[in-house]
Structure 1
Amino acid sequence: MFPWLDHSGRFSAFKLMVFIAILVPGCVVLWPVLFHGGVSLPIKDAIHGSGDWAIRMLLISLAITPFRRVTKFTKIVLVRRMVGLAAMGYALCHLLLYCIDQSFDISRIATEIAVRIYLTIGFVAVMGLVVLGVTSTNGMMRRLGRNWGRLHKASYFIAILGILHFFMQSKVDVTEATLMAGFYLWLMFSRFASKMNWKMKSPVTLLGLSVAASLATAAVEYAWFAIATGVPPLRVLQANLHWMYPPRPAWIVLFIGVLIALIPVIKQVWEKWGGAGAAQSGSGRAAARGGRARARAASR
């Protein structure tokens, strides 16, 4: 019942910290709406902010398995369901705020969702997250059996719908939408690498995934501008191939990917020097005990 308890019902400080971290963006998004009495501009900002966090939470939930494989931090699996439910919560908040902005005119809302394709895509994504949230309980896992895993793989498709909705409502400035697409591509590439039994703890494998995801991110941004806007796509492609500030999404994906590739290296160095330090400390304590024993023997 309580998100800060583990599977055995014991208090988990780690789960509590994650739960608080999940709530913070919601408070930041909703505070202007509540503080300003629900005027138009804060609601518009909150609609976009809640939608952004819904996609971010969904991608974070998808990142938990690759992160566990890279770091061997198995405890992180405890919060996967919580983060997935947070994605559903932010998506429902996104839909509710849109309904508030439309003054709860149900006929108008239904018409808009049916007529505007980007709203249709977003609504399908929200309903998909609701289905996954409702079926995320232990009881539903037992009832569905093997079908539970097949059903929850729909999260990959829901993420695509959410990112596409992000692109379509962003129109020309698709920087953050492209960044979300790049992270999603890295996550999918990592799952492919794991399925092919590539070593996910290998810096070479992780660096290769990062380069591939970065190039794919640039290709996605190029394709979007080529198909959906009047902006010259070659100019966008040239910007992706050269370093500039602020960096393009492809460079950010590469930078984050390189940091992930460094995790096994840092962990290996830490274990090597930490183990050596522990061994030296242990030998020092043994030598001290031996010296005290010899001193006692001499005193006798």
Structure 2
Amino acid sequence: MALVDESYWPWTDRKGRFDALRAGCFALLLMPAAYLAYQAFAHQLGSKPWTQAVHDTGTWSLRILVITLAVTPLRRILDWNRLIGIRRMLGLSALAYALGHLTLYCIDLGFDWGLIASEIVKRFYLIVGIMALIGLVALGTTSTDGMIRRLGSARWQQLHRLVYPIAMLGLFHFALQSKIDVTQPVLLAGLFALLMAYRGLNRLGIPLSFASLALTALGTGLATALAETAWYAFATGASAWLIFQANADIIVYQDWTALRPGHWVALVGLCLALLHLWRKPAQRPARRERRPAQPVSTAAPG
């Protein structure tokens, strides 16, 4: 969650000029909150509107957090350095939705602090969620340029690497809260694993190519399918093989609604591999070494 100077508006760059990328990102980040407000106004949140709002804000917080973690890999894969300029906005938006998630939960319980504390203590998934939120708050409050100067670059980087275990805690909280239907948590976890795999390629010095990106996508998609299978088999006691076979329904029934999280993760990765081919800069021809210029003789010809 490395971020940029806090003294400018979300839609301007460091020089105070309008930036279409930042403005568009800011508008998109506001849309889930605006849509949720519209649903509440139109009484479209069901019989338990506060509970539904709690779930929606929590889901969007994790979605935005995963998108935040995608900035660095996408910057490398797409050769698009301008993406780094929206990373702070994304990170702080993930924190804002997480704080909204907690606030709406407190409203749902009528701000009964005794009840809220007892619920958190006796429900493991709430303890996990609170730990993730505390971590996000720590990263958000230290995301300014001033805090980078105070902590020093090395210590700041070390602190903000905690975003990875924080994201895992948040995803685990989401899966536990979802109980039986973990389609969305598994999808987000699979995308998170894909992003970690991209970082692994960079750490191991494996060059980005269509082949390496495609193999990473297929491997992560398979791992996502296996993780979903393991979760459902453990939670329901059903046959793991029969659960895994559900991933073949898209072929058997030729129904796009049968796409499972593993399919989506693989498709996203394959699309990025194709985009890498399109965005990959052409190799520039090597420059010829210039010979030192010969001194011009001022003598008269003989």
Report the TM-score range of the alignment, normalised by the length of the smaller protein: 0.7 to 0.9
- Out of 126, 133, 137, which is 2:140 matched to? 133
Kindly indicate whether the alpha-carbon contact (under 8 Å) linking 2:72 and 2:84 is maintained by their aligned counterparts in 1: yes
Kindly indicate whether the alpha-carbon contact (under 8 Å) linking 1:55 and 1:163 is maintained by their aligned counterparts in 2: yes
Q: CA deviation at 1:265?
A: 2.1
- Out of 190, 194, 197, which is 1:189 matched to? 197
Q: What whole-Å deviation, never above 9, does each CA across 1:137-182 have from its counterpart, x for those lacking one?
A: 0001111111111111111111111111111111111111110011
- Larger deviation: 227-236 or 149-158? 227-236
Kindly indicate whether the alpha-carbon contact (under 8 Å) linking 1:60 and 1:83 is maintained by their aligned counterparts in 2: yes
SS class of match (1:132): helix
Q: Which residue does the alignment assign to 1:147?
A: 155
TM normalised by structure 1 equals 0.85
Q: Which residue does the alignment assign to 1:263?
A: 275
Q: CA deviation at 1:118?
A: 0.5
CA distance, structure 2, for counterparts of residue 164 and residue 31 of structure 1: 29
CA distance, structure 1, for counterparts of residue 14 and residue 235 of structure 2: 47
Kindly indicate whether the alpha-carbon contact (under 8 Å) linking 1:33 and 1:39 is maintained by their aligned counterparts in 2: no
Kindly report the root-mean-square deviation, in angstroms, between the aligned alpha carbons of the 2 structures: 2.1
Kindly indicate whether the alpha-carbon contact (under 8 Å) linking 2:54 and 2:101 is maintained by their aligned counterparts in 1: yes
Q: Which residue does the alignment assign to 1:235?
A: 242
CA distance, structure 2, for counterparts of residue 38 and residue 228 of structure 1: 28
In terms of fraction of residues, the more helix-rich structure is: 1
SS class of match (2:250): coil
Q: Which residue does the alignment assign to 1:78?
A: 85
Structure 1 alignment gaps of length 5 or more:
273-300
RCO (CA 8 Å, sep 6+): is it higher in 1 or 2? 2
SS class of match (1:243): helix
CA distance, structure 2, for counterparts of residue 109 and residue 229 of structure 1: 30
Q: CA deviation at 1:136?
A: 0.4
Q: Which residue does the alignment assign to 2:129?
A: 122
Compared CA separation, residues 265 and 193, structure 1 to 2 (3 A): same
CA distance, structure 2, for counterparts of residue 178 and residue 13 of structure 1: 33
Q: CA deviation at 1:242?
A: 4.8
TM normalised by structure 2 equals 0.84
Q: Which residue does the alignment assign to 1:207?
A: 214
Kindly indicate whether the alpha-carbon contact (under 8 Å) linking 2:229 and 2:244 is maintained by their aligned counterparts in 1: yes
Q: What whole-Å deviation, never above 9, does each CA across 1:25-52 have from its counterpart, x for those lacking one?
A: 1111233234449985222221111111
Over the matched positions of the two proteins, sequence identity in percent amounts to 41
CA distance, structure 2, for counterparts of residue 135 and residue 35 of structure 1: 38
CA distance, structure 1, for counterparts of residue 282 and residue 67 of structure 2: 27
Compared CA separation, residues 110 and 37, structure 1 to 2 (3 A): farther
1:33 aligns with 2:40: yes
Compared CA separation, residues 96 and 160, structure 1 to 2 (3 A): same
1:4 aligns with 2:11: yes
CA distance, structure 2, for counterparts of residue 80 and residue 267 of structure 1: 21
Q: Which residue does the alignment assign to 1:156?
A: 164
Kindly indicate whether the alpha-carbon contact (under 8 Å) linking 2:129 and 2:170 is maintained by their aligned counterparts in 1: yes
Kindly indicate whether the alpha-carbon contact (under 8 Å) linking 2:132 and 2:169 is maintained by their aligned counterparts in 1: yes
CA distance, structure 1, for counterparts of residue 168 and residue 193 of structure 2: 10
1:180 aligns with 2:188: yes
**Size of the alignment, in residue pairs?**
271
1:217 aligns with 2:224: yes
CA distance, structure 1, for counterparts of residue 44 and residue 271 of structure 2: 43
Q: What whole-Å deviation, never above 9, does each CA across 1:242-292 have from its counterpart, x for those lacking one?
A: 535320110111111111110122235x979xxxxxxxxxxxxxxxxxxxx
